[in-house]
Amino acid sequence: MKIKHWLMSTYLLVMLLPVAAISGLYYVVSEYDQRQDIREYFLISDRIAAIEKMLQDTSLYQIQPRSHYDVLQSTLQPSVKIELYRYDGITLYTSNESGMQFGLIRIPPDKIYQDLYELRKSSQTYSIKKPVFVDGRMIGIYQITLAREEWLTEVKDRTVWLASASIAFFLLLYVAVVWMLNRKLNLPLKRLMDRMTAFAEHKPITAWEHRSTDEIGELIKHFENMRRKMELANEEVLAGQKEKEYLVAALAHDVKTPLTSIRAYAEALFEQEGLSVKEQKEYRSILFEKIDYMKEILNDLTIYTALRSSVRETTLTEVDGEELFEMLFAEYEELCSGKGVQLHTDVIVSHELRVNARYMMRLVDNLFHNALGHTKEGQSIWLAAVSPREFMPDWVFDSFRSEIEKLGQHDLLLIVQNQGVAIPDELQERIFEPFFQVDAARTKKGATSIGLGLSIAKMIMDEHDGSIHVWSANPYGTIFVCTLKVEEKGMLRDERI
C-alpha cells in the first residue's frame, strides 16, 4: 500500500476508533443501566411498601407535638425522608430536620395534590406521594423520598472505571499508532540512511530485503539499483585501471626486447667492422622484422583502445562477401610458403555483408597469425567463408562438423582451422580475455604476442552482432568459427553507426 493511502487509512482509523469505543461504552452502560433500573425499581417498590404500612396510622395526620413522631423517626433510615401533610396542606411532620419548627406551614392545594400516585425518579432519589383516607374521607397526604445510594455509588465507581478505561484506550491507541509509524516509516528510513552512510563511507553493507511496494520501498529499490550500478562501475574502473597497468607492463616488456635487438644490430651495422655482406643483409632483415613486430604491437594496441572506447563510432558498409574474403585470404599464401606450412582456402559466399572492412582485415589477420603461430612446418592451415545453409568444406574436422553446421543454418561462417597441439579444455573459455596467453609449450618457437589478438577478434565480432567459437582437441588441432549476419540482395538495411 502506498504511504499516502496508508496514512489516510490510519488517520481515518484513529478518528473512528474513539467514536466506536465511546459508542460501545455507551451501549454497554445503557444496557447495564436498564438492567439496574429494573432491579432498583423492584427494590424501591418493596421498601416503599414497607414504609407505607407505617404511614397508614391515622393518628399521624393530626396537629401534635413533634415528639409524638419520635417512634416513626426511629424506624427510618438516614436515606429515607418522610413528609406528612394534613388534608388542607398544613405540614405536620418532615423527617431529617433538626431544631425547632415554629408555626404551621400550609402548602397550596395545587402543589400538595400535584403528582399524586406517581413514582418519580431523579438522578439521586425516588419519591412518591399518596393520600390517606378514613371512611372515604381524605385525612392527610404522605410523601416518601428514598435516596439512590447504591446507584450513586455505582455511578461513582463507573465514572472512575470509564475514565481509567478511556485513558488506557487512548494510551494504547497512541502506542499502536507510534509503533505502526515507526515500523512503516521511521525504521525503513533509518535503515536506508544507515545503508547510504555505509555506502558513502565504503563500509560493508549487509543484505536487506524490503518487500514493501510503497514509496519507501520504491526508494530503497532505486537506491539498491543505483548502488549495484555504482559498484559495477567502480569494479569496471578498477578492472580498467588494472588492465591499463598490465597493458603498460606488457608493452614495456614486449617492446624492450626488440628495441634492445634493434639497438644491437643497428650499432653493428653502423660500425661494420668484421661484418660480411651476407651478415649485413641478415642484420638488416632482422632489423626490419623487429620493426614490423613493434608495428604490429602498436596496431593491436590502437585497435584494442579504439574498440574499448565508449565514444568511438563503428561504421558498417555494404560489401560483396565473396570479393571481401577472396581479397582477405589471398595475402597469406606467400607467408605460409615461407614458413613451410600448407594453406587451403575456400570461399563459398553468395551474400552481401555489412561490415567494417578494416576491422574484418584485422579479424582474419589475428586469427590467421594465431593459427600460424601454433602450426609446425609441414602441417596445414585452412581458411573458409561459407554462406548460410551451404555445405561445409570436406577438410573440417569430423568431430566438430555437426556443431559447426548448426551455426551455419542462418549465419555466414568464417572458419580458421589449423593442425597442432590442442588448447586445454579448461583454457578454452579464457583465450579471449585480454593479455591471456596459453602455455608457451604449445606456442611455436619464435612466435611473439602480447595476448590481445583473440581478445580483439572477439570485440570485432561483438561490434558486428556476431559471435566467435573455438573447438580444439588432439590429435586434430583447433578451429575458430565466426558468425556474421548476411544481407539478401535488394533487401539491405540502413547503415548502422
Phi-psi region of 137 (alpha: psi -120 to 50; beta: other; left: phi over 0): beta
496 located within any domain: no
Q: Are residues 340 and 418 in the same domain?
A: yes
Instruction: Give pLDDT, residue 75.
Output: 81
**Residue 408: CATH number of its domain:** 3.30.565.10
* pLDDT tens per residue, range 150-202: 888 888 888 888 888 889 988 998 898 888 888 888 888 888 888 888 888 88
- The reply to whether 285 and 374 lie within a common domain is no
- The Cα–Cα gap between 194 and 424 comes to 48
Going by pLDDT thresholds of 50, 70 and 90, the confidence category of residue 449 is low
Do 323 and 441 lie in one domain? The reply is yes
3-class DSSP state for residue 447?
coil
CA 8/CA 4 separation, integer angstroms: 6
Mean per-residue pLDDT of the chain: 82
Domain of 231 in residue numbering reads as: 215-303
Q: Is the pLDDT of residue 17 over 90?
A: no
Q: Is the Cβ–Cβ distance between 353 and 484 less than 8 Å?
A: yes
345 lies in the same domain as 450: yes
Together in a domain, 142 and 24 = yes
Place 417 in a pLDDT band, splitting at 50, 70 and 90.
very high
Quick one: which H or E segment has residue 218?
Answer: helix 215-271
Contact 85, 142 (CB under 8 A): yes
Q: Are residues 378 and 234 located together in one domain of the fold?
A: no
Whether residue 99 is predicted with pLDDT greater than 50 in this model: the reply is no
Q: Is residue 38 part of a domain?
A: yes
Q: In this structure, what DSSP letter does residue 114 have?
A: T
H or E element in which residue 170 lies: helix 149-181
Q: How many domains does the chain have?
A: 3
Q: Which of 303, 337, 362 is the last residue of a domain?
A: 303
Q: Comparing C-alpha atoms, which of 253, 287, 285 is closest to residue 267? A: 287
DSSP 267-312: HHHHH-SS--HHHHHHHHHHHHHHHHHHHHHHHHHHHHHHHH-SS-
Helix pair 453-463, 277-308: axis angle to 10 deg: 40
Specify the CATH number for the domain of residue 287.
1.10.287.130
Answer yes or no: do 287 and 327 share one domain. no
**pLDDT tens by residue, 233-280:** 888 888 777 767 766 776 676 677 778 878 877 877 777 666 777 877
Give the C-alpha separation, 178 to 135, whole Å. 78
Note the pTM of the prediction, 2 decimals: 0.50
Q: Which residues contact 216 (CB under 8 A, 6 or more apart)?
A: 3, 184, 185, 188, 189, 192, 210
> Same domain for 387 and 434?
yes
Beta strands in 12-124 (DSSP E): 80-86, 91-94, 120-121
pLDDT score of 78 more than 70: yes
Nearest C-alpha neighbor of 198 from the set 222, 229, 223: 223
> 96: part of which helix (H) or strand (E)?
none
Residue 67 lies in a domain: yes
Read off the DSSP letter of residue 392.
P
Say if residue 276 is in the same domain as residue 351.
no
User: Are 37 and 76 contained in the same domain?
Assistant: yes
What is the pLDDT confidence band of residue 310, given thresholds at 50, 70 and 90? low
Same domain, yes or no: 237 and 382: no
With respect to residue 174, please indicate whether it lies within any of the assigned structural domains: no
What is the sign of the dihedral through the CA atoms of 357, 362, 365 and 366?
Answer: negative
Residue at 183 is within a domain: no
